[in-house]
Amino acid sequence: MKFQPLWAFAACLLSLSACARDASQQAIVHDAEHYVLLSQNGEQWQKEDKTIDAKLAELRKKYGKAPNIVHVLWDDTSYGDVGIPAINIIRGFSTPNINRMAAEGAMYSRMYSEPSCTPTRAAAMTGRHPVRNGMYGVGFPIEYKGLSGQEKTIAEVLSEAGYATAFYGKWHLGDIEESYPHNQGFDEALFTPYNQVLSLWNKMGEGVNAVQGLIKPMLVKDPYAKDKGFTASGWVMTLEGKKGQQAQEWGDTSHNTYVKIDPESQKRTLDFIRRNADGDKPFYVAYWPNMTSFIPNPKKRTLSRSLFGESMQYNVDAFIGRLMEELKTLKIAENTLVIAMADNGPMSHNPPPGLGMTETIFRGGKGDFTEGGVRVPAFAWWPGVVEPQLVGDIFHVTDLYTTFARLGQATTHIPRDRVIDGVDQTSLILNGDTHSRRDYVHIYTGPVLGATVKGHWKFHWVNDDPTSKSGIGAAMYNLLNDTREHNPVLVNGVPHLEGFKRMRKRHLMTRKQYPDAPAGEGDAYTGIENARPETLAASKRDNYIPTPSRVAGSE
């Protein structure tokens, strides 16, 4: 199949479902850009797919089942901070295990995440840009909101294909019952509905200036206070649950419980792997560490002496070492894909002293659509299958959804009634460098399309600089020669200008044709068997987010 501009600009623009039908009666619906690439590369991809299918069949024959999948996803790390010893050394901590993973496996130089915790997690779970399912914001207690039951997670997809599935760690996808991981396809889960900020929301947090006033028991009585509902109370820190069962609150909301979550999650991750190593079912386990507490650990062992450096070296990296060892000991490393990566760039904007997250190569961090917000360290380790290499291709966190499904022979379980932004990157995993099936990324910040990347070019749809260096409302950058997106390309960029505008238009048409779905909303903390009275008291959404008719004085 040769480049067919008519096909691409007519069939796809006019009717995305037509494109989909054209490929197969039951094809997955992708973002418009996929069809532009498919029309030009489809023949080549078809050939590759035959070889890939043969390779996967061979592996299944050898091991008696589809490959296991382990997904480790931690927080807030700049590209290069881990995996590259020459950057480790200037940051004052060391990640020898991740560096070994990078040396033995694939290091991706262009893995794009969403720009913050909740959106990236939602993207990994659903294969969709979070703008499509309302999960583009970062949740804090109490949000009465979460990942909708209408979404189909990779855990559901793989479960339907016969995988044993488990989730341990930082979920951060909501506090409503339908959003709990054991209600989203995981057989078992120990999870935090929110993020690490909860480590401060207790008496131990009193010592940290930054949290003044976060929770009621820490507050001096305020004679001017009139609203008891403004500051959260009755919130839940950790839950555990099994598919089809009620959740249980695990531990309490103390710092003492907080610091046990990661060790317990790691223990359960390794236990789950051991239990399923020799079973008939392949397994999929997501271990998403909480990584650090915002209460500084008095024990400093790194030169950086930072929350980030200490937890990166002694928590995340140390566990990755144990994980690789365990997979080898169990003799399943060669049938297990490990993906290890960060969820977004550093929380770098005016960080508290000692946090240790900092911009390095790329500009920006958490929340930003510049590369620093979304271009994260990422590694694939699969001895005997993934060759040691550095990969220059574009990869997106949503691609894990489609790729894990393909590896697990579960592609047929991916829903066909919505846009799946993730594309199948099995070829990138197996064949490596230059084998990506995308050369583009749309980058949202919240619900706003901030930028679009195509190849080594990037267009900022929103000007991130109020003084507008470029003299125009938006600007184009060359990422190779201006990694920090500082110097807009003007005359030199013109050949790409209309190309970018077409990409945006095509992409927005997919949102028009398949309208964005809302996040789940409702009472928080239902479905918890041992819910405390204060949790039950805080549970009713209507008490805090009433419908307009219930607000006194409103229309």
Interacting residue ranges for its own copies, rule: CB under 8 A: 79-80, 83-87, 89-92, 102, 107, 109-110, 303-306, 308-309, 348, 350-351, 353-356, 358-361, 390, 392, 456, 478-484, 486-487, 489-492
* Smallest separation (angstroms) from its own copies to the CB of 320: 18
Nearer to its own copies, 60 or 305 (CB): 305
CB of 300 vs its own copies, minimal distance in Å = 12
> For residue 295, what are the β-bridge partners?
none
| Cα separation, 106 vs 425, whole angstroms | 13
Give the Cα separation of 114 and 374 in Å (integer): 6
Query: Which residues, in sequence order, are CB contacts of 46 under 8 Å at separation 6+?
Result: none
Query: How far out from the chain centre does Cα 283 lie?
Result: 19
Strand partners of residue 241: 189
Q: Which is nearer to its own copies, 392 or 518 (CB)?
A: 392
Question: Is there a cis peptide before residue 142, judged by omega within 30 degrees of 0?
Answer: yes
Q: How many CB atoms neighbour CB 131 within 10 A?
A: 22
Least separation in angstroms between CB 448 and its own copies:
25
First to last CA, the chain: 60
User: How far apart are CB 272 and its own copies at their closest, in Å?
Assistant: 32
Q: At closest approach, how far in Å is the CB of 83 from its own copies?
A: 7
Give whichever of 297 and 483 is closer to its own copies, judged by the CB atom: 483
Q: Taking the complex as a whole, how short is the minimal distance between the CB of residue 92 and its own copies, in angstroms?
A: 3
As measured in angstroms, the least distance from the Cβ of 67 to its own copies is 26
Collapsing DSSP to helix, strand or coil, 547 comes out as coil
In the complex with its own copies, the residue whose CB is nearer, 491 or 552, is 491
- Residue closer to its own copies, measured from CB, 4 or 358: 358
Tokens of 471: 């003299």
390 vs 508, beta carbon nearer its own copies:
390
- Name residues whose C-beta falls within 8 Å of residue 82's C-beta, 6 or more positions apart in sequence: 88, 95, 98, 99, 312, 317, 342, 377
What is the CB neighbour count within 10 angstroms for residue 64? 10
Output 107 or 423, the one with its CB closest to its own copies. 107
| Nearest distance in Å: CB 428, its own copies | 15
- What token pair was written down for 331? 């003799």
Closer to its own copies by CB, 108 or 287: give it: 108
Report in angstroms the alpha-carbon separations of 307 from 89, 194, 551. 17, 19, 43
